[in-house]
Amino acid sequence: MISVYGYSPSGNCHKLRMMLGHLDRDHRWIETDSAHGATRTPEYLAKNPNGRVPMLETDDGRILVESNAILCWLAEGTPYFGGDAWQRAQTLSWLFFEQYSHEPYIAVARFICGWAPPDSPRRAELPTLRERGHQAFGVMETHLAAHAWFSGDHYSIADIALFGYTHCADDGGFALGAYPHVLAWLDRIRAQPGFVSMPALAAENAERIALSRTG
Amino acid sequence: MISVYGYSPSGNCHKLRMMLGHLDRDHRWIETDSAHGATRTPEYLAKNPNGRVPMLETDDGRILVESNAILCWLAEGTPYFGGDAWQRAQTLSWLFFEQYSHEPYIAVARFICGWAPPDSPRRAELPTLRERGHQAFGVMETHLAAHAWFSGDHYSIADIALFGYTHCADDGGFALGAYPHVLAWLDRIRAQPGFVSMPALAAENAERIALSRTG
């Protein structure tokens, strides 16, 4: 049995919940509220000195961190991370794109809208975050105009990783109407066997997001 | 034969030059000055819509982007990316750490010091970038206090990826004296067979970095 330390509203954590759902893999989910310090305790930092979720722990106490590395390990030997070395490198390429050119803008804008106080000075970051997030969506739209999936001819961990924060980008003030291929791809993912939706947000976060839309 | 489009002073590009040196692998290096628009031409964007270096192209015109995905592909089947699925996932974990928690602070601080104009408003970002960069060095120091290498018991692409911007962090105003294990690890890497140093910076960039140290 594996344990996954995750914060349910986090797109990075949700990737693992999706993968575990598709694989129908037994696991223990340990809810870990990173927005309220649960990854900064001495006990947690002893396991992950970088103090982030998600984190995977095996029953014999071995630790693996970084959402996309965990995805690779869970998917090893399955069609979700298949193909030859070139194909797998293409899959990895999209995983690195997600962590470098997508998540730091799209996830952070969502965090500011839904988790930071409404009067946070971090709201000043939103225009730049949105500009760069739209650049990432533009790259995705260009790819999806010619391909059904991000890596190879079927659904893979590249799609799961990019779904993580794309499907809830609206929370951060991103309108996806200009990206019809992205919207169609989101629907194709939702139709996959074993697909798991992200749990509803806590009222406090949902209210801040609603306020952010009107404010 | 493979072609690598790279900007020599970039740590992300230098990772590939190191890997190619260790493997003694024939390649064509196509110098691509990303600091002066060479990755924003229509021809380049047709190959890499994300407009970044490095980029690898095969002789039959296939493209692979993202420095760490290229490292994985080059190292496939070699001890630089060896071990079982768990060990390879640990290697990937450090590659994702590098791109998410290390490069965005350490590489960007160096860019501001050496490439942005001396009066750039981006200099205001430096205190935050340095704080977060030091957090990354702290995570590295903790790991290296107990391990000689980042993944497994020998030198791997995890070390190469982290060397990319650690070895030149001083350019961005990071003093590494507080991290003796990191300094010793840098020296171990420089002693590896086939190690290749980063070429000297252009005078303009070296002068800006010198000015930044005194300014």
In the predicted model, what is the mean pLDDT of residues B171-193?
A: 98
- Same domain for A189 and A137, yes or no, is yes
For residue B129, give the nearest of B174, B67, B178, B175 by alpha carbon: B174
Whether B52 and B100 map to the same domain: the answer is no
Residues of A in contact with B49 (CB under 8 A): 138-139, 142-143
Digit-coded pLDDT (tens) for B72-112: 999 999 999 999 999 999 999 999 999 999 999 999 999 99
Which amino acid appears at position A162 of this protein?
A: L
Taking an 8 Å cut-off on Cβ atoms, the answer to whether A49 and B73 are in contact is no
Range of weakest confidence among A50-54, B131-135, B210-214: B210-214
Q: Are residues B102 and B140 in the same domain?
A: yes
Supply the pLDDT for residue A134. Answer: 98
- The average pLDDT across A170-191 equals 98
The domain containing residue A30 runs over which residues?
2-75
pLDDT at A213 > cutoff 90: no
Using an 8 Å CB-CB cutoff, list chain B residues near A108.
Answer: none
**Residue B55 confidence (pLDDT) above 70:** yes
pLDDT one-digit tens code per residue, A18-34: 999 999 999 999 999 99
In this structure, what CATH number is given to the domain that contains residue B121?
A: 1.20.1050.10
Chosen for mutation from B50, B102, B103, B106 (greatest number of chain A CBs closer than 10 Å) is: B50
Same domain, A132 and A51: no
**Nearest-by-Cβ selection for A90 from B49, B64, B86:** B64
State the smallest CA–CA distance between residue B89 and chain A in angstroms.
6
* Cβ–Cβ < 8 Å for A171, A19: no
Of B50, B62, B92, the CB nearest to A101: B50
Determine whether the interchain pair B66/A92 forms a contact, defined as Cβ–Cβ distance below 8 Å: yes
A100 to chain B, closest Cα gap in Å: 6
Residue of B nearest to A97 (CA): B66
B-chain CB neighbours of A86 within 8 Å are: 62, 64, 73
Check B66 against A104: CB less than 8 A apart.
Answer: no
DSSP B176: -
* 3 state SS of A58: strand
| Mean pLDDT calculated for residue range B138-153 | 97
Could you report the per-residue pLDDT of B184-205, keeping only the tens digit for each? 999 999 999 999 999 999 999 9
Cross-chain Cβ contact A96/B68 below 8 Å: yes
Q: What is the mean pLDDT of residues A187-191?
A: 98
**Are the CB atoms for B37 and B11 separated by under 8 Å?**
no
Do A143 and B49 count as a contact with CB atoms less than 8 A apart? yes
Same domain, A96 and A184: yes
Residues in B closer than 8 angstroms to A103, CB to CB, are 100
Q: Is the pTM of this model over 0.90?
A: yes
pLDDT above 90 covers a percentage of chain B that reads 99
List alpha helices for A24-52, DSSP H. 42-47
Looking at the structure, tell me whether residues B42 and B146 fall in a common domain: no
Residues B45 and B101 placed together within one structural domain of the fold? no
Last-in-domain residue among B75, B98, B125: B75
Q: In this predicted model, what pLDDT tens digit does every residue of A48-103 receive, in sequence order?
A: 999 999 999 999 999 999 999 999 999 999 999 999 999 999 999 999 999 999 99
The complex's ipTM works out to 0.97
| A195, pLDDT greater than 80 | yes
The first and second tokens of residue A60, run together, are: 């014999």
| Residues of chain B with C-beta less than 8 angstroms from the C-beta of A45 | none
Say yes or no: A124 and A107 in one domain: yes
With a pLDDT cut of 70, the percent of chain A lying above it is: 100
End-of-domain residue from the set A45, A75, A105: A75
Tell me how many domains chain B contains.
2
Beta-carbon separation of B90 and A139 below 8 A? no
Chain B environment of A70 (Cβ under 8 Å): 89, 93
Percentages (nearest 5) of helix, strand, coil residues in chain B: 60, 10, 35
Are B22 and B117 in a shared domain? no
Last residue of a domain, one of A16, A43, A75: A75
Helix (H) or strand (E) segment spanning residue A56: strand A55-58
Choose among A4, A11, A214: nearest CA to A111: A11
Q: CATH number of the domain that A47 lies in?
A: 3.40.30.10
Q: Is the pLDDT of residue B214 over 90?
A: no
Shared-domain flag, residues B105 and B45: no
> Does the pLDDT of residue B117 top 70, yes or no?
yes
Mean predicted confidence (pLDDT) in B151-180 = 97
CA gap B188, A10 in Å, rounded: 38
Q: How many residues does chain A have?
A: 215
Using CB atoms, which residue from A62, A96, A142 is nearest to B69?
Answer: A96
Q: Is a pLDDT exceeding 80 seen at residue A215?
A: no
Residue of chain A with shortest Cα separation from B73: A89
Q: Do B73 and A89 touch (CB under 8 A)?
A: yes
Tell me: do B112 and B186 sit in the same domain. yes
List of chain A residues whose C-beta atoms are within 8 Å of the C-beta of residue B99: 96, 99-100
CA distance B47 to chain A (A): 11
Question: Which of the four pLDDT bands, split at 50, 70 and 90, describes residue A214?
Answer: confident
Both B96 and B156 in one domain: the answer is: yes
To the nearest whole Å, the CA of A1 is away from the closest chain B CA by 15
Label residue A28 exposed, middle or buried (CB < 10 Å: 0-12, 13-18, 19+): exposed
* pLDDT value at B215 more than 80: no
Give the ranges where A98-125 is alpha helix by DSSP (H): 103-114
